[in-house]
Chain A
Amino acid sequence: MSDLLSIDALLIAACAWFAIGLAGLLAPRETHFVSKFLFPAGALVGLLAGVVALNFLGQAPQVAVLAIGLPDLPFHLRLDNLTAIFAMLIGFVSVGISIFGAGYFREGEGTAPGLLCLEYHLFLASMLMVLLADDAYAFMVAWESMALSSFFLVTTNHQHAEIRRAGFLYLLIAHVGAIAILLSFGVMTGGAGDYRFDGMRAQQLSPFWSSAAYLLALFGFGAKAGLLPVHVWLPEAHPAAPSPVSAMMSGVMLKTAIYGLLRVSFDLLHTPLWWWGVVALAVGLATALFGVLYSTVQSDMKRLLAYSSIENIGLIAVAIGLALIFHAYRMEALAALAMTAVLYHCLAHAGFKSLLFLATGSVLHATKERSLGKLGGLIHRMPWVAWLALTGVIAGAGLPPLSGFVSEWLLLQGFLFSPGLPHPWLNMVVPVGAALVVLVAALAGFAMVKFFGIIFLGQMREENLKEAHDAGWWERAGLAWLALLTVLLGVLPTTVILRIDAATRQLLGTGLTDRMREHGWWMLAPISPERASYQPLVFLAVIAASVLLGRWLVRHLYHGRVRRTQAWDCGYYFQGPRAQDTAEGFSQPIRRIFEPMFRMERHFPTARDEQPYYSVKVEDHFWHWLYLPVAKLAERMSGLIIRLQGGRIAIYLLYSFLTLIVLLLVARP
């Protein structure tokens, strides 16, 4: 194994995924073969890829040239520490998702299982190739195959019109983004025509052109990641896709966009300007606040998670912005802190959001229901899924001792140093961002409580939920793997940071390693223990001790008996499961407080209604302010162009005839 280069091992992993996908075509209708054999094989490949990338961290970059592609234009590949972090993320997270997928995909649901297997593994392989690409050409080829394979995965159940619509929206925005990325690469070559990343690094661009490249990249990668205002595809496409696919897209694919943004803004453009960071910070804050507010008011569980993904991407963008600002002012230690927060949050979010999306998949299979208002009390029927989902929920809410807390804590630590910036405005305005981040974190906690509480706690709102069954062993294993990742990321932050520090050092020239090594592995103190430190194991121990103690006290000292009986109804006997707080009711205060942020259509029952009902529909302002006007403009312009198509052959012939005459006259020798 030692004489095999890591980059070759990762290439073999990508080829293996591709081969597994092709194997799915051999027997597209054999569900058993595909799910019980091919998907576990894919998980194994993912595990190997993850281990290879983890072992690579800290080594010198490796390059390879693949002689495929156009003549004289081979694929240049490169494995460095930044790539390795994200390859590790893809590898380890895909293990859980693939194992879950082995139990999830059933017969007779949309696309044939074998075809799904091809699309899924192609998706994985192309994401890995995006990371390995070392020239713009290979990058765009991989990027586009990633977009296309995920498009087909989203439209698995294409017989529904709204799913086709969601898929189209996704494809459209993905392509607008891809154009921006392509233009950004074009600007970065500086007219030298060298599309290898090495050539771009060597270019010395003027501030104007490098800013143009940065803004284009921010827009292009933002479209894939779900930054405002190009986020609209996310809450449509994630619910439309099957749950493992949503998990893969939200947990992993969004991170490839973050990878691209980091690659361009820290590696290819090596001299950032301070206002780039401000732009990323502002966009990130807006995205995070928008995402979390909308996630609190959703009543479809997958939409809730999709908006929560927007929020998390916003937080990552905030951290990127912070890192850019510190980096521009040569405050590398603080930049390293913010960069660690970026990478850590990528890992943490990939783990817990995939876990939550997979849990919704199990709930969906058990109950055939996606609307939160028709779920409830499932912890009794699905204890495995409920407890594993609780791990993800705690991490998603940013509570200690799990992974979400660590990255948000690091981010806030970074903010606390921003008053030291040598710029009269920034050192006053940026700390205000910290307040917004805290607000976002609190609201994220609210959204997660809503998600878990309404689905798993309380009583069952519908009769048929009594027939719900717990997930199968494959699904449990997948969920448990991701829960394990989340817990490990939560309780061993120092160990993890020491590994990912290699990427930070590669991008910024300095890292957190030296200061971290001064303390033991149990204590996370990124700047100095006097200022701030965090000991996750202490938290874990205290929490576990108080929970166990409380349980013991209730069981043994208080009365020791658990009775299931009617709750006291305050003399108000008409009480059933339907009288519980609904999804809409739970988030009503948020809707009230942040009313201007939403576009609501409400219907209140009146005393004279024959069939009184209450409904509320929350829509996105951006859809009406930005997308519909653009769509109308496009429609009007195509209306003008369609006049060319008169339908008469004579007119068509006339077009060619006139073209011929004009060309003859123009091109006279």
Chain B
Amino acid sequence: MSAVPFSAQIINLFASVILLLAFAMLGQRRVMPLINLFAYQGLVLAMSTAVVAFTTHQHHLYWSAGLTLLLKALLLPWILHRLVRRLNVKWDVESLIAIPTTMLVGVGLVIVAFNVALPISQLSNTITRGTLGIALATVMLAFLMMITRTKAIPQVVGFLAMENGLFLAATSATYGMPMVVELGIALDVLVGAIILGVFFFQIREQFDSLDIRNMEKLKDS
């Protein structure tokens, strides 16, 4: 067994924590802990990016790490917290999902993701290439979360978590995207979260709840 450098081991550790947190989010029924889990994921992501930056001396990655920390670990959770309090949906609980089944599907997805990512990571020569599968799995798990949730806020959290996965993928495959792109995406996510926040109020005004199953009534015919 070839010796894996210490920094790579740290990065892999962080990546697996991110995956673990993704599973935790998939299984979390309540809103407030879900947002907290999302904040932890952002924090771990920022830390892992910082380690990559330190190891590879890619200075722009420090900026990325700082941005991630600021945006995903602090600002977005804070916005979501505020929203939950303002909308008074602190005790919203997802009732109709079968957690064990979702988890099993999630495990299947992780296998698919690793399988798909294997050839790509062999092409890559970065120190972080092992984490590409994890990044892809995080994207898929977040997507799965969006599909299975019926309340609006968890869906948005799923959407944001997907972006976390994409960020991880970018970092692990090519040491991050160009700074301009990264800034653009960060801004998009922020604006998206704010717009969705506005939508929440509209949805609740219309249906007296944030259950998006109500929106089935909006279709044609």
Contact = CB atoms under 8 A, between A and B. Distances in A.
Interface of A: 642, 645-650, 653-654, 657, 660-661, 664-665, 668-669
Interface residues of B, number: 24
A645 to B, nearest CB: 6
Contact of A657 (B123, B144, B149, B213): B144
17 contacts: A642-B221, A645-B219, A645-B220, A647-B217, A647-B218, A647-B219, A648-B213, A648-B216, A650-B146, A650-B150, A653-B147, A657-B147, A661-B109, A661-B112, A661-B140, A664-B116, A669-B119
A668 B119 CA distance: 8
Given A642-B221, A665-B116, A657 B216 contact: no
Interface string B144-155: 101111100001
The 3 lowest CB-CB distance pairs between A and B, nearest first, are A647-B219, A647-B216, A653-B147
B116 A650 contact: no
Nearest to B117: A664
Nearest to B216: A647
B133 to A, nearest CB: 12
B173 to A, nearest CB: 13
B60 to A, nearest CB: 28
B216 to A, nearest CB: 4
Contact of A646 (B112, B155, B216): B216
A665 B119 CA distance: 12
Nearest to A661: B112
**Quick one: which of B147, B150, B220 has the most chain A CB within 10 A?**
B147
A669 B123 contact: yes
A584 B218 CA distance: 50
Contacts of A669: 119-120, 123
A647 B220 CA distance: 8
B212 interface: yes
Contact of A664 (B112, B147, B217, B219): B112
B147 A650 contact: yes
B143 interface: yes
Contacts of A654: 147
A219 to B, nearest CB: 33
Given A653-B143, A653-B146, A642 B220 contact: yes
Given A642-B221, A646-B216, A648-B213, A665 B112 contact: yes
B191 interface: no
B147 to A, nearest CB: 5
A657 B116 contact: no
Contacts of A647: 215-219
A660 B213 CA distance: 24
Nearest to A652: B147
Nearest to A669: B119
Contacts of B215: 647, 649
Contacts of A665: 112, 116
A649 to B, nearest CB: 5
Given A660-B140, A664-B116, A665-B112, 11 more contacts: A642-B220, A647-B217, A647-B218, A648-B213, A650-B148, A653-B146, A660-B143, A661-B109, A668-B119, A669-B119, A669-B123
Contacts of B155: 649
Contacts of B213: 648
A646 B146 CA distance: 17
B202 to A, nearest CB: 15
Nearest to A651: B147
Nearest to B221: A642
Nearest to A639: B221
A648 B214 CA distance: 9
B130 to A, nearest CB: 17
Contact of B212 (A642, A645, A646, A649): A649
B137 to A, nearest CB: 12
Contacts of A646: 216, 219
Contacts of B146: 650, 653
Interface in B94-140: 109, 112, 116, 119-120, 123, 140
Interface in B188-221: 212-213, 215-221
A647 B146 CA distance: 15
Contacts of B149: 650
Interface in B148-171: 148-150, 155
A53 to B, nearest CB: 50
Contacts of B119: 668-669
Contacts of B112: 661, 664-665
Interface in B51-75: none
